[in-house]
Amino acid sequence: MDFELKTLALGTAADEKCDAMVVLVTEGLHTGKDALSSLISQALAAGDLESKPGKILSAYGAQGLACQRVVLAGAGDGSTKSVRQAVAAAVAVVKTGPAKSLLIVFSAAPRVGAVRAAVLAAADASYAYTTTKSKPEPRKLKRVTIGCANSSSAKTDFERAQALVLGVEMAKEWANRPANHATPSMLAHAAKSLAKQPKIKCEVLGPSQVEKLGMGSFMAVSRGSDEPLRFIVLRYDGAAKSEPPVVLVGKGITFDTGGISLKPAPEMDEMKFDMSGAASVLGVFRALAELQPALNVVGLIPACENMPDGRAIKPGDVVTSMSGQTIEILNTDAEGRLVLCDALTYAERFKPRAVIDIATLTGACMIALGGVRSGMFSSDEALANALLAAGESALDPCWRLPLDDEYAEGLKTHFADVANVSGRAGGAITAAKFLQRFATRFPWAHLDIAGTAWKGAAAKGATGRPVGLLVDYLLNEASRPVAPQGKSTGKRAAT
Ligand code: BES
Ligand code: MN
Ligand code: ZN
């Protein structure tokens, strides 16, 4: 999909020729004497339109308008959230018709972030997965133009949005693919193709290299599968070599049957989304390739399937992780933490300024926070606050959950250094406590995206989250250089 940004006043929008037009109507709008303005004020006065976000009025062939199809969309107070809601509702209407190009008009000067919200919402509402359809329907909406009074002030916002659309759609694509179309090798291939972009490199390790590294925990999970595991290392080198990188670690379980601790059949197909963390890392790198920020970023993806088999790990088995810590695998369905812990140990070699892992880790997190906010855990106040702020500004919010040591009590066992599960209570937190044991040498955060990475039921599909949050965080970091060894050179920029 193509995007364009254009300077346009509400007064002149009536003369714009386009397939379809969406006009964002904010509260207290000053309307002029032009045809579009009078349409809006008449509709508001008659009660057929409200400025409340999500309220829609479609018009066809209205007098004095060059554009046949016009959708008036209430955009509330013009906040990023209201604009997103308005555009989502309006594009849902437009896409049922034949329009190929769409003009979205801001009737009042857009707030910071509002143009980005509009672009992302338009892309999201018109997205459709097609890869494994025999007769894929091409995307009907080909072009979206954003019109606002002063387009130069919205330019940065607009460019970030375009990069984000590419990142979010790459994350959606890989998360949506069925597991037989998104094997560990295929994920690795996708990562390799990202390395064609400027400043991006990719290295892929296979089973023998992973064994040499001593990743006994990661290897244990993959034992039950005939698909060979892959350990993907992506680098984006946007700053001097001496600059410590931010490391992103994405859970890449391309299918999670639960292993010998087999999951029940209903909705098991959704476990193809269990590599959404990995997909978000790929998506972030896609966006970095466009934005080229002055920052170093490493992406690590431990990718494998979790399958039951004669060679699969069994409840009670003890394995040795790359860190040297032994782990009693009491439940083979708690596999995410088993692949992540070795990737976290691997991250140490980069002397990172921060490590963030992203994982569809626990059903418990989905129960706790639902699909609105991702769970966030961090051992570092500054990192936690930076992620919270990035989540708010990107409209991809997270919520911090605790890491009190008492939550780790249940992970104690007589047979190894640590068990991979504790009781059902506080399941998202005990999973984070397990990971924290492997993240002691750098500022660390964990995002549990089990509830936010995809939608279930009729709307089934990947959301592309938390690409938006991560990109905002990284761009903020790029304007806050730090010295090697993680010493801060100055004050953290306000986020
Ligand atoms: N991939 C799942 C987590 C999950 C479940 C995400 C449902 C989204 C929806 C993870 O590997 C898992 O199975 N976790 C177990 C942990 C338990 C055995 C301690 C869970 O949440 O049930
Ligand atoms: Mn599992
Ligand atoms: Zn899983």
How confident is the model over 248-302, as pLDDT tens digits? 999 999 999 999 999 999 999 999 999 999 999 999 999 999 999 999 999 999 9
Q: Domains along the chain?
A: 2-149 (3.40.220.10), 165-478 (3.40.630.10)
Lowest-pLDDT choice from 67-76, 455-464, 482-491: 482-491
Between CA 388 and CA 407 the distance in angstroms is: 23
Q: So what's the pLDDT on residue 483?
A: 61
Between CA 8 and CA 10 the distance in angstroms is: 7
Q: Helix axis angle, 381-393 relative to 467-478, nearest 10°?
A: 120
- pTM reported for the whole predicted model: 0.96
User: Within a 10 A sphere around the Cβ of 297, how many other Cβ atoms?
Assistant: 26
Query: Which ligand approaches the C-alpha of residue 420 most closely?
Result: 1
Lowest-pLDDT choice from 149-158, 198-207, 381-390: 149-158
Q: How far is the CA of 383 from the centre of ligand 1 (A)?
A: 26
Helix (H) / strand (E) element for 419: namely strand 418-419
How confident is the model over 324-345, as pLDDT tens digits? 999 999 999 999 999 999 999 9
3-state SS string over 101-162? EEEEEECCCCCCCHHHHHHHHHHHHHCCCCCCCCCCCCCCCCEEEEEECCHHHHHHHHHHHH
pLDDT range class, residue 495, cuts 50, 70, 90: very low
From the CB of 329, is ligand 1 less than 6 Å away?
no
DSSP 8-state symbol, 415: S
Q: What share of the chain is helix, strand, coil (3-state, %, to 5)?
A: 40, 20, 40
Between CA 71 and CA 24 the distance in angstroms is: 9
User: Within a 10 A sphere around the Cβ of 314, how many other Cβ atoms?
Assistant: 12
Is position 235 annotated as part of the catalytic site?
A: no
Phi, psi angle pair for 84, to nearest 5°: -60, -45
Q: Whose CA is nearest to atom 22 of ligand 1?
A: 363
From the CB of 360, is ligand 1 less than 6 Å away?
yes
Q: How far is the CA of 219 from the centre of ligand 2 (A)?
A: 15
From the CB of 169, is ligand 1 less than 6 Å away?
no
Helix (H) / strand (E) element for 320: namely strand 317-320
Q: How far is the CA of 365 from the centre of ligand 3 (A)?
A: 12
Contact 288, 236 (CB under 8 A): yes
Q: Whose CA is nearest to atom 5 of ligand 1?
A: 363
Q: How far is the CA of 291 from the centre of ligand 3 (A)?
A: 32
Q: How far is the CA of 270 from the centre of ligand 3 (A)?
A: 10
> CB within 8 A of 460, min separation 6: which ones?
270, 454
Is position 81 annotated as part of the catalytic site?
A: no
Contact 289, 479 (CB under 8 A): no
Place of tokens 């959950």: 401
Q: Which of 422, 424, 436, 443 is nearest to 485 (CA)?
A: 443
Can the peptide bond before residue 466 be classed as cis, meaning omega within 30 degrees of 0? Answer: yes
Q: So what's the pLDDT on residue 143?
A: 96
CA-to-CA dists, residue 278 to 249, 252, 284, 291, angstroms = 7, 5, 10, 20
The pLDDT of residue 475 is above 90: yes
Pocket test for ligand 1, best of 328, 362, 418, 429 (most atoms within 8 A of CB): 362
Measured from the Cα of 263, ligand 1's closest atom is 13
The pLDDT of residue 168 is above 50: yes
pLDDT range class, residue 484, cuts 50, 70, 90: low
User: ∠ CA 437-440-443 to the nearest 5 degrees?
Assistant: 125
From the CB of 448, is ligand 1 less than 6 Å away?
no
From the CB of 450, is ligand 1 less than 6 Å away?
yes
DSSP 8-state symbol, 309: -
Contact 421, 335 (CB under 8 A): no
Judging by beta carbons within 10 Å of its beta carbon (0-12, 13-18, 19+), is residue 154 exposed, middle or buried? buried
The pLDDT of residue 490 is above 70: no
pLDDT range class, residue 322, cuts 50, 70, 90: very high
Round the average pLDDT of the chain to a whole number and report it. Answer: 95
Between CA 373 and CA 164 the distance in angstroms is: 19
Contact 378, 384 (CB under 8 A): yes
From the CB of 305, is ligand 1 less than 6 Å away?
no
Between CA 388 and CA 374 the distance in angstroms is: 10
